A and B are shown apart, each in its own frame.
Chain A
Amino acid sequence: MLRVNNISKTIEGSQVLDHVNITLEPGTIAGLVGRNGVGKSTLLRVIAGILDPDEGQVLFNDTDIHQDPQVKQKITYVPDSTEILKSYSVKEIVKLYDAIYEDFDVVYFYSLLDRFKLPKNKKIRTYSKGMKALFLMILSFSTKSDLIILDEPTNGLDPIVKRNILQFIIEEVSERQLCVLISTHHLEEVEKMADVLIMIKEGRIESTTSIEDAKSSFRKVQVVYKHSLPEKIEQLNNVNILNQTGRVYTLMIEGNIDATLEKMNSENPLLLEELPMTLEDIFISTLGGESHVS
C-alpha cells in the first residue's frame, strides 16, 4: 500500500532523512518512534506531500504521491498543530471536506462527533486543545481514507478520551483494513495498538519490526556480581547497561539471548533475574537516552 523508497532530505545543510525505506500493508498500525529532532515529523510531512524529498519516492498503491497528488484522495494527514482549521465552524469544515474528498461520509462524521461528545455548532477555535486534536482525527477517519498519517495524535487528550480514541483506531483498522502511521511520544500507546514498530535514529530507520519480534529479540535482566560487572560481560556488543545502582545492574540484551545469559551465569552472579520489559526499555536501549522517550 505505502512504499517509501530511499527518501533523503536535507534542511538547512543538515541531513534530516537519510535513505529512509518503509513498506506498510493494509490493515496495519505502524508506530514511528524516535527521539526529538530525528526527523519523524519531516518524514510524515514528506509522505503527506507537504515537503519534497531531495531523493527517493513515496508510492501509494504504486503511484508517486508527489507526481500525482490526486492519489491523496485516499490519504489524510493529521498534523501535530491543532490550529490549522481554527477559523472554521464545524459546518464549514464538513462542507469543505465534502468538497475535497469524494468518499467523505457526513453521517459517519456527525455520529463520531456524538460518540466523542464534541459540540457541533461551534467554531473550532472555542474547542480545547484536546478537543481540536480529537476533531481532526474524526475528520480524518470520516474521509474513508486508506492511509491515515497521525503526527503526535494524542497530545492534549485526557486519559479517558485517549483510551477511547485508541480503541476507535483499532476498530477502524480491523473493520476497513486501512493503514495508520502514527508518530507518538507515548510508547505505551504504540505497545497497545501497533503491529509494526519503526524506530528512527538520526534520520535513518534503525529497525522495522513487529512489536512481538521486537520484544522477543530483547531481554531485560537484573544482575548482581560479587564485585562490579565483569569486563567480559560489559564488552559484549549486544548488552546495554540501562541502569546501575551500586553493584546492581539492569541490562538489556539484544539478540543471541540464550548464549548471553549462559555467559552471564558462567561468571557466577549473586543474582540474575529477568525483569518485565516495556517498549520504553527497548527504545532507550536502541535509540539511546535517559529516562524518557520522545
Chain B
Amino acid sequence: MFHRALWMRNQKLGSPAVWGIYISLFLFLPYSFFGKAQNMLTEKNNPYRDAPENYYLNFHFTGSDIVLFLFLVIGLAALLVGSERTSHATDLTFSLPFKRKEIFLSKWIFGVGHITTGLLVNLLVCMLIVKFTILSEVTDAAFLFEFMMIVIPFSIAIFSFSLFIGTVAGSLVSQLVLSGIFLLFPIGFLSLIASFLEYHGISINRDAHTTQVFGDLINSLTLPIPIIDFRYDINLSTENSFTEFSHIPYVMLLIPLAYTILSVVFGTWLFSRTKNENNGRLLVFEKGRGFFTFGVVLCFALTFGMLGGGIFGDYDSRSLIGYYLSAAIGGVLAYFMLKKLIHFRMQFGK
C-alpha cells in the first residue's frame, strides 16, 4: 500500500484536486488571515477623523470560509476512484501486480496525507500570522488549535466516506452525487422523518438538554456541519465587547473516528470484490440495487410530501391528503427516473 508506483498513479489521478486543496486552503486561511491583519493595521493607522473611537479591534472566523476545500475533498475521492471507472483506467490499475486492498488503501493514504498536510501547514502558518501581526492584539491562536482538532478528523472522515461511496458507485458523477447526498443524509433524513411525524400529529418536543445533546449528535453525524458551524467571533471595542466561540463537544470526535474506521474497513472489503463489469453504471454491485431503489423512492416520497403537503391546507391545519398525494408523485417519479438511471452507462475514452 506504500508502493511508489501506486503513489505515482494516485498523484496522476488526483493531482487537480490536490492542487485545488492546497491552493484553496492557502487562499482562505493564511492569505485571508494576512489580509485581515493588513486591513486592521490600515484601520489602526488611519482612524476615521470624525470618530476615532470607531477604531476597534475585532476578528471573525468561521469554518464555512473553507467550504470550497470540503468540495475538493469529495472531488479528490471521486478522482481517485470514480474517474478510473468512468475512463476505463481501471483496466490498467486492476491488471497491475497489486492486491486490490493495496490499491484502495494507497488511495486512502494518499488522500489523507495531502488533506492532513494541507490543513496542518496552512493552519500553522495562520497561527504564526496571528502571533506576529496586529491580530495578536485581538486574539491568540488557541482558537485555531481548536479548529484544527475538529477540521482534521472531520475532513479525513469526509474523504474516507466519499472514497467508500466510490466503492459502490459506478462512475465519477454517481460517486459525487451519492457522496453529497449521503454526507448530508443524517440531518436531511431526520428533517424528513420529523415532517412526517408532524403531519401525523406526533410531537417530538423534548427538554432543552436532550434537544441539545441530540442536536450535537445529529450535527456531528452529518460530517460537514461541525466544520461549517465552527465560529469564532471576538470584538474588543470599548462599547460593544464580546467573544463568541461555538464548536461541538470533543466527545463528538468519536464520530469521525468511527466513520473513518468503518469506511476504510468496508471500503477495502467492497473494493476487493468490485464488479468492474458494471463500471460506468450508477452502482457497481447488482445485489444492492433493490434496497437502493427502495431507499431513494422513500426519500423522494418523504421530500415531496414535506414540500407539497401544505398545498391542500394552511400552516395550522396541514392536509394529510396533500402530503400523501405529493409523496406518491415523488415516489413514482423517483422510481421511473431511477429505473432509467440504474441501467445508464457513463463511460468515455474507449
Kindly report which residue of chain A lies nearest to residue B98, judged by CB atoms.
Answer: A69
Kindly report which residue of chain B lies nearest to residue A136, judged by CB atoms.
Answer: B92
**B240 within 8 A of partner (CB):** no
In the complex with contacts A83-B88, A84-B88, A69-B99 CB distance below 8 A: yes
B350 shortest CB reach to chain A, Å: 5
Query: Are B4 and A99 within 8 A (Cβ)?
Result: yes
Bitwise, B1-37 to A at CB < 8 A (1) or not (0) is: 0011100110010000000000000000000000000
In the complex with contacts A88-B12, A96-B5, A79-B99 CB distance below 8 A: no
Query: Are B349 and A51 within 8 A (Cβ)?
Result: no
Interface size on B, residues (CB 8 A): 27
**B189 within 8 A of partner (CB):** no
Contact of B12 among A45, A75, A92, A100 (CB under 8 A): A92
Interfacial chain B residues near A11, Cβ < 8 Å: 277
In the complex with contacts A79-B92, A88-B12, A50-B276 CB distance below 8 A: yes
In the complex with contacts A76-B95, A92-B12, A100-B96, A84-B273 CB distance below 8 A: no
Interfacial chain B residues near A23, Cβ < 8 Å: none
Interfacial chain A residues near B350, Cβ < 8 Å: 80-81, 83
A83 to B91, CA, bound (A): 11
A73 to B286, CA, bound (A): 31
**B90 within 8 A of partner (CB):** yes
Bitwise, A176-203 to B at CB < 8 A (1) or not (0) is: 0000000000000000000000000000
**B201 within 8 A of partner (CB):** no
In the complex with contacts A88-B12, A99-B8, A49-B94 CB distance below 8 A: yes
**B116 within 8 A of partner (CB):** no
Interfacial chain B residues near A92, Cβ < 8 Å: 12
How many A-B contacts if CB must be within 8 Å? 77
**A256 within 8 A of partner (CB):** no
Query: Are B277 and A69 within 8 A (Cβ)?
Result: no
Contact of A96 among B8, B97, B273 (CB under 8 A): B8
Query: Are B5 and A84 within 8 A (Cβ)?
Result: no
Interfacial chain B residues near A77, Cβ < 8 Å: 91, 95
Kindly report which residue of chain B lies nearest to residue A65, judged by CB atoms.
Answer: B97
A204 shortest CB reach to chain B, Å: 19
Bitwise, A66-103 to B at CB < 8 A (1) or not (0) is: 00011111011101110111111000100110011100
A92 to B276, CA, bound (A): 26
B92 shortest CB reach to chain A, Å: 5
**B87 within 8 A of partner (CB):** yes
A96 to B276, CA, bound (A): 23
Query: Are A85 and B92 within 8 A (Cβ)?
Result: yes
Kindly report which residue of chain A lies nearest to residue B277, judged by CB atoms.
Answer: A11
Query: Are B97 and A52 within 8 A (Cβ)?
Result: no
A221 to B5, CA, bound (A): 57
A83 to B350, CA, bound (A): 7
Q: Which residues of B contact A (CB under 8 A)?
A: 3-5, 8-9, 12, 87-92, 94-100, 273, 275-277, 286, 348-350
A-B contact pairs, 7 of them (CB 8 A): A51-B275, A69-B96, A70-B98, A70-B99, A77-B91, A81-B91, A100-B97
Please give 20 more A-B residue pairs, beta carbons under 8 A apart, in addition to A50-B90, A84-B87: A48-B91, A50-B91, A51-B277, A52-B275, A70-B99, A72-B96, A75-B97, A77-B95, A79-B95, A81-B88, A81-B350, A83-B349, A84-B92, A86-B349, A92-B12, A96-B5, A96-B8, A99-B3, A99-B4, A100-B96
